[in-house]
């Protein structure tokens, strides 16, 4: 399931967005955003099996945040309109929660990102020399479990009701098991890395990943009052506030029986610390601002670690991104540089039935997040195009 939980997607922002954001009223910008949302529902959503779009733009010059939505929370007759409070799965944006938790544990002296898996998880001797940092920046060489035929076949047979323990997920790629995939090299996106990172968090802290997220990150401090994490089935009080999320089986013939299925109630253990969180676009914006600017969340040394990127082309550490090497991966975040708009950060988190994408442009002090309620990917995924239109509306000439 390549990129089912994640996939950095917006790097070629080709519009001419240089210079300061234009002066425009809140009403004018809200109208532009509403036009984008309505156009997605009218022209694109059905082809992606989506029924809803939610957009949130954070621009201090507009006094905070503008939210617009369009569509229904499901494809059922009489379904309610989606609102800015409607929750969705945010996929691999979860990875930034995992990396921040490890960075905080490092600041507390509990562990070090140069520690090896051999020190924390000796049950995986093939990876004993892999450091925690290499897990987080995707240079570990450990393949991603969601690309393995055995897991795809399991879901194709059993649907999305199975509870996967972290050990089972890791086992799909452990060289100790027959048929495990070959190691990767350089930069290679792997959800297994973050399942292992979650296992380290639990061993180092003596608390579950969920407890760490709830105690350290969720709540009013960082504006995450409606954000939640479960490596399992979410309770009804959360799922009844979510949009339905629709699986798209294109490219996965072994999972054709699930095509179009509503997966909002699925057991999210398959995503775990790599991609199981739920939130809403406005709170993703809040998190992004905290992630890159809050000294309460991360001290200067920890933020330097967070934002130190490796080339997504070579896997080598980069002092800075350049036009020749414009895409970099940090610790659960991804950066880009563009001749049109300069440097920024973005992430598209994908789950089986949702796509949530943020873009942060520091020079324009702009964060924008969009959420769509289907798992379309590849050429069928128009999330990047919608996000670009939002950025053009908010920061373009």
**Residue ranges per structural domain of the chain:** 26-395
Please tell me the chain's helix, strand, coil percentages from 3-state DSSP, rounded to the nearest 5. 40, 20, 45
Residue 183 confidence (pLDDT) above 50: yes
Mean pLDDT of the chain: 92
Q: Counting runs of H as helices and runs of E as strands, what totals does the chain give?
A: 13, 11
Residues with Cβ within 8 Å of residue 72, at least 6 apart in sequence: 51, 52, 79, 80, 81, 82
CA distance 249 to 261: 9
Q: What is the pLDDT of residue 6?
A: 43
Higher pLDDT, 393 or 61: 393
Q: How much is the average pLDDT of 137-148? A: 95
SS3 204: helix
Give the lowest-confidence range in 74-83, 171-180, 213-222: 171-180
Class of domain 26-395: alpha beta
CA distance 127 to 344: 33
Q: Using the 8-state DSSP alphabet, how is residue 268 labeled?
A: G
pLDDT of residue 16: 38
Residue 217 confidence class, pLDDT cut points 50, 70, 90: very high
Instruction: Say how far apart CA 158 and CA 78 lie, in whole Å.
Output: 30
The CA distance from 136 to 131, in Å, is: 9
Place 159 in a pLDDT band, splitting at 50, 70 and 90.
confident
Q: Which residues contact 291 (CB under 8 A, 6 or more apart)?
A: 96, 100, 297, 298, 306, 333
Q: In what order do the strands lie in the sheet with 228-229?
A: 88-91, 277-279, 228-229
Q: What are the pLDDT digits (tens) for 282-302?
A: 999 999 999 999 999 999 999
d(CA 380, CA 359): 20
> pLDDT tier at 8 (50, 70, 90 boundaries)?
very low
Q: What value does the mean pLDDT take over residues 26-44?
A: 96
CA distance 285 to 387: 13
- Can you read off the two tokens belonging to residue 111? 């562990």
pLDDT band at 25 (very low <50, low <70, confident <90, very high): confident
- 91 to 120, 353, 356: CA distances (angstroms): 26, 9, 7
Please determine, for residue 349, whether its predicted confidence score (pLDDT) is greater than 70.
yes
Predicted local confidence at residue 335, as pLDDT: 97
Distance linking the first and last C-alpha atoms of the chain: 39
- pLDDT exceeds 90 at position 9: no
What are the φ and ψ backbone dihedral angles of 72, each rounded to 5 degrees? -115, 160
Tell me, what's the pLDDT at 5?
Answer: 44
SS3 288: helix
Mean pLDDT across 383-388: 94
- The yes-or-no verdict on residue 187 having pLDDT over 60 is yes
139 or 379, which is more confident = 139
* pLDDT mean over 32-53: 97
Confidence of residue 250 (pLDDT cuts 50, 70, 90): confident
Helix (H) or strand (E) holding 103: helix 94-107
Query: pTM score, two decimals?
Result: 0.95
Mean pLDDT for 147-151 is 88
Q: What's the pLDDT score for residue 14?
A: 42
DSSP per position, 113-126: TT-BHHHH-TT-GG
Q: What is the mean pLDDT of residues 339-357?
A: 92
Return the SS3 of 171. Answer: helix
Asked whether the predicted pLDDT for residue 17 surpasses 60, the reply is no
pLDDT at position 62: 66
Percentage of the chain beyond pLDDT 90 is: 82
Report yes or no: 195 and 170 within 8 Å, Cβ to Cβ.
yes
- pLDDT of the residue at 102: 98
pLDDT at 7: 44
Strands (E), 7-146: 52-59, 64-71, 88-91
Confidence of residue 23 (pLDDT cuts 50, 70, 90): low
What is the pLDDT at residue 154?
86
Look at residue 256 and tell me whether its pLDDT is greater than 60.
yes
Least confident of 20-24, 172-176, 184-188: 20-24
pLDDT at 19 over 90: no
């Amino acid at each position: 399931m390549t990129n089912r939980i994640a996939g950095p997607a917006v790097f070629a922002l080709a519009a001419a967005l240089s210079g300061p954001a234009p002066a425009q009223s809140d009403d004018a910008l809200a109208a532009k955003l509403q036009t984008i949302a309505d156009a997605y529902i009218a022209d694109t959503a059905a082809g992606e099996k989506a029924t809803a779009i939610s957009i949130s733009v954070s621009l201090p010059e507009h006094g905070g945040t503008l939210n617009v939505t369009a569509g229904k929370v499901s494809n059922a007759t009489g379904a309610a309109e989606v609102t800015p409070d409607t929750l969705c799965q945010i996929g691999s944006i979860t990875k930034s929660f995992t990396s921040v938790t490890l960075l905080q544990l490092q600041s507390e002296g509990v562990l070090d990102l140069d520690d090896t898996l051999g020190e924390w998880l000796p049950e995986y001797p093939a990876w004993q020399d892999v450091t925690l940092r290499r897990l987080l920046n995707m240079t570990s060489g450990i393949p991603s479990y969601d690309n393995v035929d055995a897991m795809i076949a399991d879901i194709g047979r059993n649907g999305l009701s199975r509870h996967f323990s972290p050990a089972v997920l890791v086992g799909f790629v452990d060289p100790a098991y027959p048929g495990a995939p070959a190691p990767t090299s350089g930069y290679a996106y792997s959800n297994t890395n973050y399942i292992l990172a979650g296992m380290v968090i639990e061993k180092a802290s003596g608390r579950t990943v969920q407890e760490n997220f709830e105690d350290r990150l969720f709540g009013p401090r960082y504006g995450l009052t409606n954000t939640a994490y479960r490596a399992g089935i979410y309770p009804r009080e959360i799922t009844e506030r979510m949009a339905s999320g629709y699986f798209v089986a294109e490219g996965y013939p072994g999972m054709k029986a699930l095509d179009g299925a509503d997966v909002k109630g699925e057991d999210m253990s398959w995503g775990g610390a790599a991609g199981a969180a739920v939130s809403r676009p406005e709170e993703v914006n809040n998190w992004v601002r905290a992630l890159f600017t809050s000294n309460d969340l991360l001290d200067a040394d920890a933020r330097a670690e967070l934002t130190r990127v490796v080339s997504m082309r070579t896997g080598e550490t980069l002092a800075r991104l350049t036009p020749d090497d414009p895409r970099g991966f940090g610790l659960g975040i991804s950066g880009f540089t563009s001749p049109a708009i300069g440097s920024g950060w973005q992430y598209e988190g994908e789950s089986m039935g949702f796509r949530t994408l943020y873009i942060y442009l520091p020079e324009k002090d702009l964060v924008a997040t969009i959420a769509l309620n289907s798992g379309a990917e590849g050429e069928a995924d128009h999330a990047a195009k919608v996000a670009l239109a939002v950025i053009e509306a908010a920061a373009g000439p």
